[in-house]
Amino acid sequence: MTSRLKDNMILKNISLTRGLKTIFSSLNIEFLCPGLNIIKGENGSGKTSLLMMISTLLQEDTGTIIRFGKLKKNDWLNEHILIKQNSSLSDELTIEENLKIWCGLKGWDLNTDKIEKSLKNFGILKYKNFLVSECSSGIKKKAELSKLNFDESFKLKCWLLDEPLNHLDENGKLFLKKIMDKFINMNGTILQTSHEKKINHKNFKIIKL
């Protein structure tokens, strides 16, 4: 039982309120670990709140969240990435600087080669010296997602992706699928919110809110 708990992510009897609105009450979910979990639901059903709660940005009112056994909060913060729906890149910096500083803040290697490689894979290498304020939302999204394509990102336990397919073109979607499959093959867990009907991945679990 303990070994099963160790690599599992389970929500037990969770309730969450924001302001006066009750978002969840007595929610029980067992996620597929390792594997792809697709969270579906209508607008305002609390998909983003669920991801933020798992990522400790929101505090649950009652219930327990088991994050890969009893990981300490600081360890958990170092073991996952949350990519939010709207971009979290600084407008005053270029794309390359944004990614470099982001890697630095995580305490990772500051090598610019790997950033260039990651941007090249997404096909936005030519925009690397553009200020973020000059870029379109698709390029911003790709720059944001190229955080997932570093060697260190594949060694993490979990990716939380909030609608990663928004603003992406076909090539971007294909490459995102490729790195998501690679991560799952390396025993990673992905929690993804999505409105897409067609899902190309082999092994996945759909969670309806």
Partner 1 sequence: MKINFKNILIALIEKEFKSYLRSINNFMNIIVFMIAIIILFPLTVGPSEEKLTLVSNAIVWIALIVSIIPTLDKIYISDFKNGWLEQYYYSPLLLEIIILIKCFVFWFFLIIPLTIFIPIFSILLNIPFLIIFWNIIIFAIGSLGFCLIGSICSSLTLGTKSTNLISPLLILPLAIPIFIFGNGVVEAVKSNYDPLPNLYLLITVCLILLIISPLISAYSIKIALTK
Are 76 and 67 in contact, with CB atoms under 8 Å apart?
A: yes
- Contact call for residue 152 and partner 1 (CB under 8 A): yes
- Contact call for residue 16 and partner 1 (CB under 8 A): no
Smallest gap from Cβ 113 to partner 1, in A, equals: 15
- Binding marks (x or -) toward partner 1, 104..123, rule CB under 8 A? xxxxxxx-------------
Burial of 141 (0-12, 13-18, 19+ CB in 10 A): buried
Measured between alpha carbons, how far is 79 from 192 in angstroms, rounded to an integer?
16
- Contact call for residue 167 and partner 1 (CB under 8 A): no
* Interface of this chain with partner 1, residues 122 to 141, rule: CB under 8 A: none
Smallest gap from Cβ 98 to partner 1, in A, equals: 9
Q: Which CA distances in Å does 161 have to 6, 36, 55, 88?
A: 22, 11, 11, 13
**What are the strands, taking DSSP E only, across the chain?**
9-18, 21-30, 35-40, 62-67, 80-83, 158-162, 189-193, 204-208
Query: Rg of the chain over CA atoms, in angstroms?
Result: 17
Among 22, 25, 28, 88, binds partner 1 (CB under 8 A): 88
Among 42, 92, 169, 196, binds partner 1 (CB under 8 A): 92
Smallest gap from Cβ 200 to partner 1, in A, equals: 29
Smallest gap from Cβ 208 to partner 1, in A, equals: 26
Among 67, 100, 114, 140, binds partner 1 (CB under 8 A): 100
Tokens 């553009």: give the residue.
130
Smallest gap from Cβ 101 to partner 1, in A, equals: 4
CA atoms within 13 A on the CB side of 87: 21
Q: Which residues bind to partner 1, rule: CB under 8 A?
A: 56-59, 74, 77-78, 82, 84, 86-93, 97, 100-110, 152, 155-156
